[in-house]
Amino acid sequence: MRFKGGTEAQPLIEALEILRELNATGARNVPDNAPTLFVPVRWQGYLDEAAAKGDATAYRHYWELPVTLDMPGKVADFLRTSELDPDERAALDQGQAVRRGQGYPLRVPAAPAIHRQLLGRCQPLDSAQSVPAQRKARREYANRVNALGNGI
């Protein structure tokens, strides 16, 4: 499946294509011409430092980190039944279940802005009508999204 999006999403879409190719070929180094506009401002310094040191492993880590974020399964289940924008739906559909411990988090590749939008969409999980596990799942996701900062 290929991502589609508006002009603002193009650097992220290009990065996902590069990441897909790196994983398919077993290559480790991110190409020099790879986009970095999707990297949050708070991580840009780490990316620049890794590039200056020639540390390809650290560079790839900081380059691909903003592309994925684990979403608790209860949040993903709620969002699957919600009305979403096409970019939000595409990001959610691209998620892969990660089977570990209790529940199945969904590893969602998306720009921080998309994660913030998805977090806003699951606001009803904070209500008194939600079960405690749903409220906890939303708080966990909120903590992960908020850790991304307001960069990009």
Which of 66, 89, 106 is the last residue before a domain boundary? 66
Task: Reduce the DSSP state of residue 97 to 3 states and report it.
Answer: strand
Report if pTM > 0.75: no
Model confidence at 41: pLDDT above 90: no
Number of domains in the chain: 2
Give the residue numbers spanning the domain of 117: 67-147
Token pair 């998309």: residue: 114
Please tell me whether residues 76 and 47 are part of one structural domain.
no
pLDDT (tens digit per residue) in 12-27? 778 878 887 887 788 8
Neighbours of 9 (CB within 10 A): 20
Do 80 and 143 reside in the same domain of the chain? Answer: yes
| 94 shares its domain with 141 | yes
Buried b (16+ CB within 10 A) or exposed e, 102-117: ebebbebbbbbbbbbb
Quote the pLDDT of residue 151: 43
Dump pLDDT digits (tens) for 85-133. Answer: 988 888 888 788 887 666 688 888 777 778 889 999 999 999 989 999 9
Q: Which among 37, 66, 95 is the end of a domain?
A: 66
Can you give the length of the chain in residues?
A: 152
Query: Which two tokens mark 35?
Result: 């986009």
**Residue 140 sits in the same domain as residue 85:** yes
Q: Domain check: are 85 and 113 in the same one?
A: yes
